[in-house]
Amino acid sequence: MSIRFDLRGKRTLVTGGGSGIGLATVELLAGAGAAVALNHLPGDNVATSEVQRLQAAGLDVTAAPGDVSSADSVSAMAAGVLGAFGGLDYLVNNAATFATKEPIPSANLDAIDEQFWQSVLSTNLVGPFRCTRAFAAALRESKGAVVNVASTAGLGLPGSSIAYGASKAGLINLTQNLARALAPQARVNAVAPGHVVTGWTDQWPKARRDYAAEKSLLKKVSQPRDIAAVIAFLCAGTDMITGQTVAVEGGYLLG
């Protein structure tokens, strides 16, 4: 994908960067000249292969293994990134978990136990806070930007589970408060994707996938690169947007 931004000299971390929206964002930002640290879970061989592929293509991408659901892991990962880059310009908090292979109906409360809540909230909500706090000083110094990847499930639409929707609604609120916390030096925004073609949604029945496209005004669903383009804009394309959440869902909310 082409991008009009010249990001040479910019330092970026994308969490959960080994696949889907995260990988598309890594490719887009690195393709525009940024040095990108691709965060992935330790031991993720697929993500490691993606880093090698991007490096072979001449892009400035390095691996930054770490688990955002763990405070200690985030601290170690942040130390490594700051040691390598000497600072940070853009942080993309994309790492998240559904904690389920299939959407869980809202009425099925018994499926949402304490462990499920802990897994989802620690990754999807506390994880972005951990990462932003770890890089706050660097982002203030560079007058940088944070982009959190939320979801239309955080805007009231059904998500993969009650816990997932709550985590993304919390992330939207966290985005507003982090914008206050990092102002005036750095900006914090969020993107809220609707249905995105990923390995997770590819497993859904065709009727469910078709419904998402038919209900949207544009009669199609997003590709990861569509979300990545908005993330890039919120990082580098504006100096006057902060505390906002941009829904990228082809008009599904109006359909």
What's the distance, CA 72 to chain centroid? 20
Residues 97 and 122: beta-carbon distance below 8 Å: no
- Please list the helix, strand and coil fractions of the chain in percent, rounded to the nearest 5, in that order: 50, 15, 35
DSSP alpha helices (H): ranges in the chain? 20-31, 45-56, 71-85, 114-121, 127-142, 162-182, 206-215, 224-236
| Coil/strand/helix, residue 6 | coil
Please, are residues 110 and 117 in contact by the beta-carbon 8 Å criterion?
no
3-class SS at 146?
A: strand
Among the options 90, 164, 211, 252, which is catalytic? 164
Sign of CA dihedral 27, 29, 35, 39: negative
From the number of C-beta atoms within 10 Å of its C-beta (0-12, 13-18, 19+), residue 213 rates as: middle
Give the chain's end-to-end CA distance (angstroms, integer).
28
Is 211 annotated in the active site? no
Active site residues: 164
